[in-house]
Amino acid sequence: MGSKIKIYVASPLGFSEIGRAFYYRELIPRIEQVGYQVIDPWTLTPIEKKQRIESMTDLSQKLHAWKKLNIEIGRNNKKGIDDSDGLVAVLDGTDVDSGTAAEIGYAFAKGKPILGYRGDFRLRADNEVAKVNLQVEYFIQASGGTIITEIDKLQEELKRIFG
């Protein structure tokens, strides 16, 4: 038997308490229940590094430390996408999160399939037929993926896209 399929989860959900609750109680378990391994960008860089910088009082040192850590976080997330078999991307918000959009574009350029999830019912797209920004939607669909609007369809679509 081959190795587990690895799914990188691109989302802004780690920024808020309620987002983390949904992310770790609903989204991640549903992916793991299908038998896939989750690559979680929120854990690729130790939280202690961020906390240490946030507690710094010297502004010059703090800015220098953030510059270094920002590069490390970006590099870690790039490697996570490189090591994945594809993405699940959370597309909620009045506009798709810019970091999530960048991860979608990078994954598409690397030939990775992408499954988008938009549980947000607000209409925010370029026109009446798009679910999200048309370029983001294009990358998802051209990758062989789709955008779902119900979390209960996640596992079915994961199986369809990733086997």
pLDDT digits (tens, 9 = 90+) for 6-15: 999 999 999 9
Indicate whether 1 belongs to any domain.
no
Over the chain, what is the mean pLDDT? 93
The amino acid that residue 12 corresponds to is: P
Indicate whether 42 belongs to any domain.
yes
- Please state, in angstroms and rounded to a whole number, the distance separating the CA atoms of residues 39 and 9: 6
**What pLDDT is stored for residue 122 in this prediction?**
73
Average pLDDT of the residues in 138-147: 96
pLDDT in tens, 54-72: 999 999 999 999 999 999 9
**What pLDDT is stored for residue 29 in this prediction?**
98
The answer to whether 100 and 13 are in contact (CB under 8 A) is no
| pTM (2 d.p.) | 0.92
Indicate whether 18 belongs to any domain.
yes
Percent residues over pLDDT 70 in the chain: 94
Tell me the residue range of the domain where 71 lies.
6-162
- At 109, which CATH number? 3.40.50.450
Average pLDDT of the residues in 104-118: 97
- Please state, in angstroms and rounded to a whole number, the distance separating the CA atoms of residues 10 and 13: 9
**What pLDDT is stored for residue 1 in this prediction?**
44
Spell out a b/e string for 83-112, using b for 16 or more CB atoms within 10 Å of the CB, else e: ebbbbbbbbbeeebbebbbebbebbbeeeb
Helix H or strand E segment including 7: strand 6-10
**What pLDDT is stored for residue 129 in this prediction?**
64
* Per-residue pLDDT at 2 exceeds 60: no
* Per-residue pLDDT at 52 exceeds 50: yes
Average pLDDT of the residues in 117-138: 79
Average pLDDT of the residues in 27-48: 96
Counting the structural domains of the chain, the total is 1
Indicate whether 21 belongs to any domain.
yes
Cβ neighbourhood burial of 132 (10 Å; 0-12, 13-18, 19+): buried
